[in-house]
Structure 1
């Protein structure tokens, strides 16, 4: 071999090297689950896992059920960049951009679980987040990490921008629920009625939420405008929904640990019948390893601790509305296991590798 021959990049087919993955923010619900899945993954190698307040603890002390006997360390971008090929950044919105930009600049594949890189229009970002983006050069360059919609773009991550924006949990269920109708130009308007478990608030808020406020109670929140609403609209417009459509999205907190159910009520642009709608969804999700179409109303427990999205469609004969029900586990398909699914696609691995649990 010539001396100047390029060495294969770690994790690429034929390199013989497993990609080493760091998880930043592994003390949170999403980061801890990502670390668990990577620790057991047959191809990726879990490297550093970081936290600030919990540095020095082992993850299996903080989350015994994840069984990850790895010590949490203080985040150090230079150290992570030297010893890793991939970084999963599980920081809250606003705290993520700086670390993502620094790791991206050092050549790592970066998968961000915050909302910092999901939107593509700077004006929309300012409207909903009101911030000057910390990494404006990267804004709008990320691949949206929903494999069922953006599989081809994810396959090019290693050779292109090297940045993946993990979708929000509500957008994951909502987009999967409505994408087939959007592609067919059938969405005239839509109401998305979403229910989520307490873990959707994140570790800090979940642990300070009073049991008496949640138990035997359901309440709506974000009614004036939830930040996932523009993300849902952006992706549905990209799938073919008319730009004049503004879906209504209202989330509700329900007294469960984890899980999510989105009930979508869609007024269509023309009359449709059940067979046509069923065919649209069969064609859209044929062969998808993690989308199940069912004739029964799906429940959160159906998909608990899995990477599965379970959908059911129904055409109401009186109003003509199409009803679509989509349930996911908000911590798994809604966040962390979907991140691993995206990495599998990006690195040319079997899409279900490490996720059939």
Structure 2
């Protein structure tokens, strides 16, 4: 499909938190035309009825490929396992896709099936590009299927990429915390207000599904290792902080050298900020920014790296739009910067 002068886009799964925010960003986008929004549980309702804060006066429809695939691009916000076949159908029709599920993030089929379920479309794995622009900008710009990263991997990989490239990570423990919107719109007992309020809980212990995604990308950067990754649920609606505790392969590396590594990696990046103090989630709320701070514990020799993002923005929806911008040759910040 040849993109028009104003590329048309559909959001499939726009009834959820991430999908509705993606719809908002595309509805306000100065270049893309948001043509369709679909949902599975809220068909017949308008997005601005479900989410008045997004101000998107569009009716959620039941997905119909015959009508809704007549677009240049799509964001698919379906759950893991449910997304793959739908993405494959869009891809076969020439639609350029950004998939928000985990179905195409892991390059190795056996690893995906170990951590998730039997893959319904394994033939597409090789052609999907991992959608972290700071690492795969050129590949994203040239591809038709982007696997949008998970929110925890986005923050963690950006926090550690400069160290991984230099082979400096010998051992790694990641302590991660997120607001409840990361669990999706359908409430469970664990994400109910009464359970979450005035409380902090670890979950996904000892095997969280984002672990192999993080290990895959660190290995691609030059640091193959097994990590300890533990996420926690905070009584926040959105926001995410990861604290990475790194045992260095070279204990002689100084804090000055570490800072130089991070500045070399990120001074030119529009959406990565380096801070002198540990970042909080409020500093990045409703932005596409990852805010990072690096410290060295001289007593233990460990390096501590913090990264804060908004899990619904840089962790999901605004990063998806950043990827679409790249795919269509637009400046990355189009439609996602204030």
TM range (shorter): over 0.9
- Cα gap change, 1:208 to 1:326, in 2 (>3 Å): closer
**1:235 aligns to 2:217 (yes or no):** yes
List, as ranges, runs of 4+ consecutive aligned residues in structure 1 with deviation greater than 3 Å.
206-209
Matched, 1:108 2:95: yes
* Residues 115-147 of structure 1: CA deviation (Å, up to 9, x unaligned): 000000111111111x22111211232111110
Secondary structure of the residue aligned to 1:55 is coil
CA distance change for structure 1 residues 208 and 240 in 2, over 3 Å: closer, same or farther?
closer
Q: Please, which of 146, 157, 171 is the counterpart of residue 189 of structure 1?
A: 171
- 1:316 maps to 297
In structure 1, the residue matched to 2:140 is 154
Matched, 1:138 2:118: no
| Corresponding residue for residue 31 of structure 2 | 43
1:348 match: secondary structure:
coil
Partner Cα separation in structure 1 for residue 214 and residue 127 of structure 2: 18
**2-structure distance, mates of 1:246, 1:333:** 25
C-alpha RMSD of matched pairs (Å): 1.2
- In structure 2, the gaps of 5 or more residues are none
1:134-167 CA-to-partner distances (Å, cap 9, x unmatched) read 112112321111100110101111xxxx100000
Partner of 2:6: 18
Counterpart CA distance in 2 for 1:206 and 1:148 is: 34
2:183 and 2:189 map into 1 onto residues whose CA distance is 9
Give me the whole-angstrom Cα distance separating, in 1, the residues matched to 2:201 and 2:11: 33
Q: Measure how far apart 1:206 and its partner are.
A: 6.5
Q: Distance in 1 between matches of 2:258 and 2:64?
A: 50
**Matched length:** 337
Larger Rg over CA atoms: 1
Partner of 2:243: 263
TM value normalised by structure 1: 0.92
Structure 2 CA distance for aligned equivalents of residues 209 and 253 of structure 1: 8
Q: Helix, strand or coil: the match of 2:124?
A: coil
> Quick check: 2:12–2:75 contact (8 Å CA) kept in 1?
yes
Any idea what SS the aligned residue of 1:73 has? coil
1:246 aligns with 2:256: no
Q: In structure 1, list runs of 5 or more residues that go unmatched.
A: 1-7, 12-16
CA offsets 1:76-110 (integer angstroms, 9 cap, x no match)? 112122x2010110001011011100000001101
Could you tell me the TM-score, scaled by structure 2's length?
0.98
Measure the CA separation in 1 of the matches of 2:267 and 2:222: 20
Contact 2:174 2:229 in 1 (8 A): yes
